[in-house]
Structure 1
């Protein structure tokens, strides 16, 4: 059997299931595990030097985040990504996040603004430390605060329905070299517009932020497809 995954390192404070999850997620993002590929628990466990239990738990979490799909009576497969999938999700996300930023500029509380400022500091720390996993966590929290500030529960629910796809795209986009730093600057501008209650500017900046993420995502997929034989579904 050809070994593609390296054994996990236990020199880490994180639980084993988290280490395995992060390793599998990275393998999916970088194309080692390709879209449409079946994930065999025994094989993955052997390659990574662990038992099947943390692999099974990691696969379940990957399914929740949109990286894996479960096919009845067949098993787990790496979720496919097509250019149209990406365009469709980002088209919706651009409209929703632009609307959310505009509503937040009208309705956000001082406490929520202060929370956003604190999160900007945390994002900056993640960028300095080059800590992608923590950055994704804080970035997700940042957007959640903005969504809550809209005072529109229906809008929050609609955005939540896209969470799995958004999370996968967020991970791939932020992992691109240099993207973390630019994303931080985009976040700062959005917070400034929201704090100034500038609805139109907040909408514009939010739309640009998502469009930039989409361009990064599409470029990453093109590079993987052309450079590594990466073949997303068309």
Structure 2
């Protein structure tokens, strides 16, 4: 598989295990590997022309990151998201993002805010086109503008993994009102930053933007078609 292109992935620089990991994550996102389904290790190994060892290594990493479960005598299952999973990931992002904002606040330049405004406009455009994929790609990029100013790689990694759980196993349901509120909150957040009040901006991020209480109805619609799944 090294130095080859198979199934649309290029195997050149990264360790084979990492590239297989990314390939499997992409398969999950595309819906080729669905939550609750079993991974056919033999079929994937043959398709990619690789041995089972790096594939198993990638699956072990996926299990550590919460995407799959390795079941004795049954195989590897793609994990489903429960409402508790969503709430836990939401709370982690809520706590860490608001905590990370304060130390990097003075690094937020006008060019950073201009980029955040641009990404919010892209979100609005994607919402109008009912392009949920682009909407959430730009949403993640918006938050990364300030998160990437932090030198705390571990906290950024935790946020990244939890957002992947939140945004990568999607029905990609278009909820116009929720998307509109996202954009309005982004602009309000930018305004607070421009006013120079770090504590108020962090509080807005935690209490309003990542509020579970205010957004639970949308969360149920987005992930579970309005039904409660514990």
TM-score normalised per structure 2: 0.64
Count of residues in Structure 1 that have an aligned counterpart in Structure 2? 201
Give the aligned partner of residue 177 of structure 1. 175
Question: Residues 93 and 162 of structure 2 are in contact (CA less than 8 Å); yes or no, is this contact kept in structure 1?
Answer: no
Return 5+ residue gaps in structure 1 as ranges.
1-14, 45-50, 54-59
Displacement of 1:127 after TM fit?
1.9
Distance 1:173 1:101 in 2: 31
Distance 1:129 1:206 in 2: 27
Return 5+ residue gaps in structure 2 as ranges.
1-6, 10-23, 49-57
Report 1 or 2 for greater relative contact order, CA contacts < 8 Å, sequence distance ≥ 6: 1
How big is each residue's C-alpha offset from its partner over 1:63-99, in whole Å with a ceiling of 9 and x where there is no partner?
A: 59x6842628854422132333333222222111112
Displacement of 1:146 after TM fit?
1.2
Distance 2:172 2:210 in 1: 12
Q: CA RMSD in A?
A: 4.3
**SS class of match (1:162):** helix
Distance 2:132 2:122 in 1: 12
Give the aligned partner of residue 123 of structure 1. 123
Question: Residues 102 and 202 of structure 2 are in contact (CA less than 8 Å); yes or no, is this contact kept in structure 1?
Answer: yes
> CA 1:41–1:125 in 2, change beyond 3 Å: closer, same or farther?
farther
Question: Residues 105 and 195 of structure 1 are in contact (CA less than 8 Å); yes or no, is this contact kept in structure 2?
Answer: no
Give the aligned partner of residue 157 of structure 2. 160
Displacement of 1:147 after TM fit?
0.9
